[in-house]
A and B are shown apart, each in its own frame.
Chain A
Amino acid sequence: MITTSAMKRLRIDPAICIVFGLVILLVIFGYFISDRFGTIQNLTNILENSVSLGLSSLGQTLVILTGGIDLSIGGVINLTSCLTSGIINGDSRLVVPVITGVLLLGILIGFINGSLTVWLGVHPLIVTLGMSMILQGITLMYTLAPPGAMPLSFDFIAYGRVFGVPFAPVVLVLIFVIMGVFLRKTKLGRHVYAVGGNAEAARLSGIRQNRVVIFVYSACGFFAALTGVYLVSRMGIGDPRIGEYYMLSSITPVVVGGTILAGGKGGVLGTLIGVFLIILLRNLLNFMDITSFYQWIIEGLIIIIAVSFYIEKRKL
């Protein structure tokens, strides 16, 4: 396996290896459970299911790293998915401008979240919760049911293959890699960790922590909007309620992957592994014909156990 010095160089929390190991274990378990598990179709299914959870959790990771939280991701997804299919309404000429517009809208909402947090001093939990309710209202004012339609070619985003390889999951991993490099290797990325670790010390070191905070919420809004667009491709249409699931579920892969809620520690690699853990788990439980209620119980237990690996051992 990976040696400890290599881990230190890449600065990977050894506890992530445990969660990664769990993922491997689940994969092996899957092969035993059912021969259908190992089929290309099922594996592709798993990868495709990871995209929406992955994108929304990615934005959430950034926010949590600064010690905040974003509860408006679901609201953004709802609004952007409805606006996308509602405005485009089958007209392929509108696809590019509307999607651009919707992504910008996501950034704008995030920008507002961040600005309110910084300038009002209200805890981001409250700001984003309020925003989520506002977005819900706006969405339902626009449409009560899945609106409009999308041109068939739009299916490509969610279902397309390039040389036989599923398009969306590959792009997902690419995005994660880019964000990972951003966090580790750029000044702004370093500042994200500084602000999360000790906002006051960061300020006194000349870091403009307000800008950092507004940036992460804007980025989170962007990824939420991107998730909304992806879901439109996956379902063929927007939906004013599709985002609800993501409001809290976007947090789970982040903490299971080792990012601490208090901020300052963690990263996107852990989130990606956390996403796979959850999707795999669900996939396996389906194969075992376990009803959804048991699935929830098991998922809940796994979350608690996985996070406990990251608790610093008390020094005696």
Chain B
Amino acid sequence: MQDIMLEVKAITKRFPGVTALQDVNFNNRKGEIHALVGENGAGKSTLIKIIAGAYQPDDGEIFFDGKKVVWESPHQSRGEGISVIYQEFNLFPELSVSENIFMGNELRKKFRLLDFTRMKRESQEILDRFGLHLDPSQKVKELSVAEQQMVEIAKGMCNRTKLFILDEPTAGISEREADALFERLHLLKKEGVSIVYISHRLGEIFKNADRVTVLKDGRLVDTVDVKRIDRNRLVSMMVGRNLEDIYPAKAKDLGEEVLRVEDLKIGNTVKGVSFSLHKREILGLAGLVGSRRTELAHGIFGSLPMDHGACVLGERAFSATTPRESIDYGIAFLTEDRKNEGLVFGQSIQANITMPTLSDFVKKTLINAQAEKNVCKKEMEKFSISAYGTEAFVDNLSGGNQQKVLFSRWARACGGILILDEPTRGVDVGAKMEIYKIIRGLADDGIGILLISSDLPEIIGMSDRIIVMKEGSVTGELAQNEIHEEAIMHLATLSRSEQTGDNNGRNAR
């Protein structure tokens, strides 16, 4: 029992209309990294919130560090040593790293004035302990997502945290940054700190976690040692069925060229990129974070102005300066950040789906609402979007359903070319599989798809061909039979001296 940091027994939590958790048992050992997985709606966040004291369970008990506890508030659990790091961090962008680390725990000197010098010094110590090369006086908004996460962890360490709970810590950061994060979590492990983390990235779990707990539909499926199972078994535990083929079959033959990008340059970031996209092809665009793939996509789409270069569609060469132009040429773009760049919250599924294609429903300047509704109903069925109707607000849909709304929007608006940027980010396993089928289905219908993804298994599983970028330039191209993880990583990390001079030459096809 000395071994156990946290134990919850028979936890049940009900909300009006749904039982979020039923009779769940869970424990976490000192110095353990314990992964918590399950589809969306399985109850992971609810369990986390109960452990943190944000919710009260309707039934069951919580034991922390040997004694039974009842949390009145998250503040109380934090005081006892539980730190939760949510996906949207609780950091203050305009304040410095040290101010954030000590937020709520400020050090004071005489007359209750804040002792900035001491706080800065102690922040530096914590950062050094983790091997983080950050300046404590830097403003948090200047840091990358991965660095901000480390600040959150440092904040927790400052509070003498015994149990860290992380919600999807590696969504939105590169593989290398994720490794760095886990290195530091392993350091914490050695000090006896316990870690529970929610993730959809199964590869990571096998690399870093000690045990994994699977929840499904509010119940505990099992808790197992990571060494005792494999990926397939884990996925079938989560989904409740056997999944042999996560990725649909690849294209057998490609159509003619549907888009050619020629020497596209954007300022200092995209340095002359050229490639070709074909009908029925899924062209994967791989690279580490910072390879500027998203900027390239925005350049093609016209949402970022290109300084040089052109897109060639059939006979026409153009460089779009507004998204409207590209859409009229047939290019659709499902952007990376569905919250800030994709969905309009406060509006219905219907309004979101038809946003770029409203003209389809306009007769004599008035919108035919009934026609719009009928079409959207069909779209909801086609993409299996579950909600009570087309007029439901997108705000409350799950990540997977929100993403499908965007797929519906862009599939409708697409006239031959579809760019997808991290299409399955923050989406659970079951919905991911549906989305992969959707993507392949669109390609089979004749659309040329440019797939940007940081999820290596995903890009390997989906792409007919892969182009790799590093720091704004294309470093190489891989045909279907050349695609595997090492080749991609090699090209993604090619140093300047190793890159051959004529990048454009390499890619002309």
Q: Which of A187, A198, A206, A208 contacts B344 (CB 8 A)?
A: A198
- What are the residues of chain B within 8 A of A187 when measuring CB–CB? 358-359, 362, 365, 367
Q: Contact at A206–B342, with CB atoms within 8 Å?
A: no
Q: Contact at A208–B343, with CB atoms within 8 Å?
A: no
Tell me which residues from 273 to 316 in chain A have a Cβ below 8 Å from any Cβ of chain B.
Answer: 315-316
- What are the residues of chain B within 8 A of A204 when measuring CB–CB? 301, 303, 323, 333, 335, 341-342
Q: Contact at A201–B351, with CB atoms within 8 Å?
A: no
Q: Shortest beta-carbon distance, B44 to chain A, in Å?
A: 17
- On whether A186 and B366 interact (CB within 8 A), knowing A201-B341, A206-B356, the answer reads yes
Closest to B354 in A: A190
Give Cα distance in the complex from A181 to B323, angstroms: 28
Q: Is A185 an interface residue (CB 8 A)?
A: yes
- What are the residues of chain A within 8 A of B55 when measuring CB–CB? 316
Q: Is A36 an interface residue (CB 8 A)?
A: no
30 interchain pairs, CB-CB under 8 A: A8-B391, A186-B362, A187-B358, A187-B359, A190-B351, A193-B344, A193-B351, A194-B344, A194-B351, A197-B345, A197-B346, A197-B347, A198-B343, A198-B344, A201-B341, A201-B342, A201-B355, A202-B355, A204-B303, A204-B341, A205-B355, A205-B356, A205-B409, A206-B323, A206-B327, A206-B356, A208-B322, A315-B396, A316-B15, A316-B55
Give Cα distance in the complex from A260 to B358, angstroms: 24
Give Cα distance in the complex from A208 to B358, angstroms: 13
Give Cα distance in the complex from A114 to B396, angstroms: 33
Q: Is A26 an interface residue (CB 8 A)?
A: no
Q: Contact at A200–B324, with CB atoms within 8 Å?
A: no
- What are the residues of chain B within 8 A of A161 when measuring CB–CB? none
Taking each of B343, B358, B409, B413, which has the highest tally of chain A beta carbons within 10 Å of its own beta carbon?
B358
Q: Is B340 an interface residue (CB 8 A)?
A: yes
Q: Contact at B346–A264, with CB atoms within 8 Å?
A: yes
- What are the residues of chain B within 8 A of A200 when measuring CB–CB? 340-341
Q: Shortest beta-carbon distance, B416 to chain A, in Å?
A: 16
Q: Contact at A207–B355, with CB atoms within 8 Å?
A: yes
- What are the residues of chain A within 8 A of B409 when measuring CB–CB? 205
Q: Shortest beta-carbon distance, A296 to chain B, in Å?
A: 33
Q: Shortest beta-carbon distance, A265 to chain B, in Å?
A: 5
Q: Which of B324, B341, B346 contacts A206 (CB 8 A)?
A: B324
- What are the residues of chain A within 8 A of B367 when measuring CB–CB? 184-187, 190
Q: Is B369 an interface residue (CB 8 A)?
A: yes
Q: Is A203 an interface residue (CB 8 A)?
A: yes
Q: Shortest beta-carbon distance, B5 to chain A, in Å?
A: 27
Q: Contact at A190–B323, with CB atoms within 8 Å?
A: no
Q: Contact at B346–A201, with CB atoms within 8 Å?
A: no
Q: Which of B333, B341, B344, B358 contacts A264 (CB 8 A)?
A: B344
Give Cα distance in the complex from A197 to B343, angstroms: 9
Q: Which of A181, A184, A186, A264 contacts B347 (CB 8 A)?
A: A264
Q: Shortest beta-carbon distance, B249 to chain A, in Å?
A: 32
Closest to B355 in A: A205
Give Cα distance in the complex from A190 to B324, angstroms: 16
Q: Contact at A203–B303, with CB atoms within 8 Å?
A: yes
Q: Shortest beta-carbon distance, A255 to chain B, in Å?
A: 16
- What are the residues of chain A within 8 A of B15 when measuring CB–CB? 316
Q: Shortest beta-carbon distance, A316 to chain B, in Å?
A: 8
Q: Is A123 an interface residue (CB 8 A)?
A: no
Q: Mark B126-142, 1 if CB is under 8 A from A, else 0.
A: 00000000000000000
- What are the residues of chain B within 8 A of A8 when measuring CB–CB? 391
Give Cα distance in the complex from A264 to B352, angstroms: 13
Q: Mark A173-211, 1 if CB is under 8 A from B, else 0.
A: 000000001001111001001100110111111111000
- What are the residues of chain A within 8 A of B344 when measuring CB–CB? 193-194, 197-198, 201-202, 264
- What are the residues of chain A within 8 A of B343 when measuring CB–CB? 198, 201
Closest to B301 in A: A204
Give Cα distance in the complex from A202 to B358, angstroms: 12
Q: Contact at A205–B323, with CB atoms within 8 Å?
A: yes
- What are the residues of chain B within 8 A of A202 when measuring CB–CB? 344, 355
Closest to B344 in A: A197
Q: Mark B326-338, 1 if CB is under 8 A from A, else 0.
A: 1110000101000
- What are the residues of chain A within 8 A of B359 when measuring CB–CB? 187
Closest to B368 in A: A185
- Taking A204-B301, A206-B328 as known contacts, 20 extra A-B pairs with beta carbons closer than 8 A to each other, sorted by chain A number, are A181-B366, A185-B367, A186-B362, A193-B344, A194-B355, A198-B345, A202-B344, A204-B333, A204-B341, A205-B323, A205-B327, A205-B355, A205-B356, A205-B409, A206-B413, A264-B345, A264-B347, A265-B346, A315-B396, A316-B55
- What are the residues of chain A within 8 A of B323 when measuring CB–CB? 203-206
Give Cα distance in the complex from A197 to B351, angstroms: 11
Q: Mark B253-275, 1 if CB is under 8 A from A, else 0.
A: 00000000000000000000000
- What are the residues of chain B within 8 A of A265 when measuring CB–CB? 346
Closest to B337 in A: A200
Give Cα distance in the complex from A316 to B18, angstroms: 13
Q: Mark A40-75, 1 if CB is under 8 A from B, else 0.
A: 000000000000000000000000000000000000
- What are the residues of chain B within 8 A of A201 when measuring CB–CB? 340-344, 355
Give Cα distance in the complex from A201 to B129, angstroms: 41
Tell me which residues from 204 to 225 in chain A have a Cβ below 8 Å from any Cβ of chain B.
Answer: 204-208
Q: Shortest beta-carbon distance, B48 to chain A, in Å?
A: 15
- What are the residues of chain B within 8 A of A197 when measuring CB–CB? 344-347
